[in-house]
Amino acid sequence: MANLQSDFIGIRSPNPFWLASAPPTDKEYNVRRAFEAGWGGVVWKTLGSEGPPVVNVNGPRYGAIWGADRRLLGLNNIELITDRPLEVNLREIKSVKRDYPDRALVISLMVPCDEDSWKDILARIEDTEADGVELNFGCPHGMAERGMGSAVGQVPEYIEMVTRWVKTHSRMPCIVKLTPNVTDIRKPAEAAKRGGADAVSLINTINSITGVDIDAFAPMPMIDGKGTHGGYCGPAVKPIALNMVAEIARNPETHGLPISGIGGVTTWRDAVEFMLLGAGNVQVCTAVMTYGFRIVEEMISGLSDYMDAKGFETTADLVGRAVPNVTDWQYLNLNYVTKAQIDQDLCIKCGRCYAACEDTSHQAIAMSPDRTFSVKDEECVACNLCVDVCPVENCITMRELPKGAVDPRTGRTVGDYANWLSHPNNPSVREAAE
Ligand SMILES: Cc1cc2nc3c(=O)[nH]c(=O)nc-3n(C[C@H](O)[C@H](O)[C@H](O)COP(=O)(O)O)c2cc1C
């Protein structure tokens, strides 16, 4: 049986599934129920320093994007950090940690950008015996306008400075949570490492407007006729998060820096994808807000079955396994040739593949008078659009031409691509030239 025990920067948890800092982790009642359901750890909803109370809007805080089946694909929020008193949160954290010593309990923090504010709150967090802190340099709305959250996360120098304060004034492991609202995610991660961070976590939410009320002429969610941008998360953001995790994992400057993967994790498979790209564990928010705490059961059994099937004994065995296969475009093998093929038994004759290819791509699908669709190998460039638009899973697949076959489109023999061996894109040619 696979061992799901996780050790992330010295913080141990019975599995690598943590809840991300958000409403599900905003209070003792929730966190206790999450632990009872089986979550390995939580990052407590972001705490701020004592001061003027945090006040949320009283209109809708969330907006959403749905699939055709009304499945929630993307969630947008304009919520602030916790609006519950610091004292109450600290008391609850202490009580939960005492009762669940085997679970990871990390506290998310966001305080003004001065050293004393960080020093003060860190001392109070240490009193709770929580396992570590996560620095929220990510939330893009409400607090950013006050010089916190993503306003810090977008300036590498600030990230480095605050992280260094935290490491100076605390012995706790420190995770720096990054905002995706930057052009190059490697820079903030490098800054976190320079500041002494033990790990980075990503992604926080993406700046977004999920829709516009076309009668009221205002963005949604709408508060008394006005709206503002919010933070986007959920399954829709997973591809962006995966790419950012991979970028950090394969950057020599941050090589070995532990990563906590966040963004659209809904199933065990999503978690495995993040871990293969270098995440030591994952955090989940939207999926539990949609389906409840019990989804962790399926995550645990799915990961366990996957690890057994692959012969992985510990979660560390799979972390980063896909990173060496993430490369730059110029290293892709131009000598690899595939063609689309249509399974006539599965085809429902809808003609989407034909319309897409005929109107917008390479005119590589033929339609007979009885609406039988077939691929013209001599035109197919293997773009995959027909696979992507086909409503029937596995009806259209890509078939690899064997070595020695002639590509009817180019007339070249596969495996003997005329230019490939001497092509400047070929890695061995590039390496020889360097
Ligand atoms: C309603 C809501 C509130 C959130 N509040 C916080 C927060 O206080 N601190 C924080 O670091 N991230 C916060 N987040 C971001 C999540 O922790 C997480 O980074 C993001 O939702 C992406 O994960 P997901 O796709 O699994 O939801 C919040 C997200 C949502 C939806």
Instruction: Write the DSSP string, 88-103.
Output: HHHHHHHHHHHH-TTS
Share of the chain above pLDDT 90, in %: 83
Largest CA distance in the chain: 77
Residue 52: CB atoms within 10 A of its CB come to 6
Q: Which residues contact 325 (CB under 8 A, 6 or more apart)?
A: none
**Six token digits for residue 267:** 């199933």
The rounded Å distance from CA 335 to ligand 1 centre is 43
Task: Please state the rounded mean pLDDT for residues 367-388.
Answer: 98
Task: Please state the rounded mean pLDDT for residues 3-7.
Answer: 97
Residue 421 CA, chain-centre distance (Å), reads 37
Q: Is 402 exposed, middle or buried (0-12, 13-18, 19+ CB in 10 A)?
A: exposed
Atom of ligand 1 nearest to the CA of 202: 19
pLDDT band at 416 (very low <50, low <70, confident <90, very high): low
327-348 tens-digit pLDDT = 998 788 888 999 999 999 999 9
Residue 428 has phi, psi (to 5 degrees) of: -70, -35
Task: State the catalytic residues.
Answer: 139
The answer to whether residue 428 scores a pLDDT higher than 80 is no
**Six token digits for residue 369:** 């008078």
Q: Which helix (H) or strand (E) holds 76?
A: strand 72-77
pLDDT value of residue 39:
98
Rg (CA), the chain: 25
- CATH 3.30.70.20 assigned to 333-433: yes
pLDDT value of residue 53:
82
Task: Please state the rounded mean pLDDT for residues 119-135.
Answer: 96
The answer to whether residue 92 scores a pLDDT higher than 90 is yes
pLDDT value of residue 144:
65
Ligand 1 pocket member 284 (CB < 6 A): yes
pLDDT value of residue 422:
64
pLDDT value of residue 148:
72
Beta-strand (E) ranges in 266-410?
279-284, 338-342, 365-367, 373-375, 396-400
The region that residue 9 occupies, defined by phi over 0 for left and psi between -120 and 50 for alpha, beta otherwise, is left
Asked whether the beta carbons of 8 and 16 are under 8 A apart, the reply is yes
Q: Would you call 58 helix, strand, or coil by DSSP?
A: coil
Ligand 1 pocket member 138 (CB < 6 A): yes
pLDDT band at 186 (very low <50, low <70, confident <90, very high): very high
pLDDT value of residue 413:
87
pLDDT band at 151 (very low <50, low <70, confident <90, very high): confident
What separation in angstroms does the CA of 417 have from each of 327, 400, 408, 427?
21, 15, 13, 15
Return the best residue to mutate from 233, 265, 270, 286 for the ligand 1 pocket (most ligand atoms within 8 A of CB).
Answer: 233
pLDDT band at 425 (very low <50, low <70, confident <90, very high): low
The answer to whether residue 246 scores a pLDDT higher than 90 is yes
195-233 tens-digit pLDDT = 999 999 999 999 999 999 999 999 999 999 999 999 999
pLDDT value of residue 140:
65
Residue 15 has phi, psi (to 5 degrees) of: -155, 165
Number of helices and strands in the chain (H, E): 13, 20
Residue 260 has phi, psi (to 5 degrees) of: -105, 120
If you search the block for the tokens 């990173």, which residue do you land on? 323
pLDDT value of residue 332:
85
Domain coordinates in residue numbering, the chain? 6-325, 333-433
CATH number of 6-325: 3.20.20.70
The rounded Å distance from CA 393 to ligand 1 centre is 32
If you search the block for the tokens 């820079």, which residue do you land on? 187
The rounded Å distance from CA 140 to ligand 1 centre is 10
Ligand 1 pocket member 20 (CB < 6 A): yes
**Between 344 and 425, whose confidence is greater?**
344
Ligand 1 pocket member 136 (CB < 6 A): yes
- DSSP-derived secondary structure letter, 223: B
Asked whether the beta carbons of 265 and 283 are under 8 A apart, the reply is yes
Report how far residue 310's alpha carbon sits from residue 121's, in angstroms, rounded to the nearest whole number: 44
Asked whether the beta carbons of 414 and 401 are under 8 A apart, the reply is yes
263-313 tens-digit pLDDT = 999 999 999 999 999 999 999 999 999 999 999 999 999 999 999 999 999
pLDDT value of residue 313:
96
The rounded Å distance from CA 20 to ligand 1 centre is 6
Q: Which helix (H) or strand (E) holds 157?
A: helix 156-169
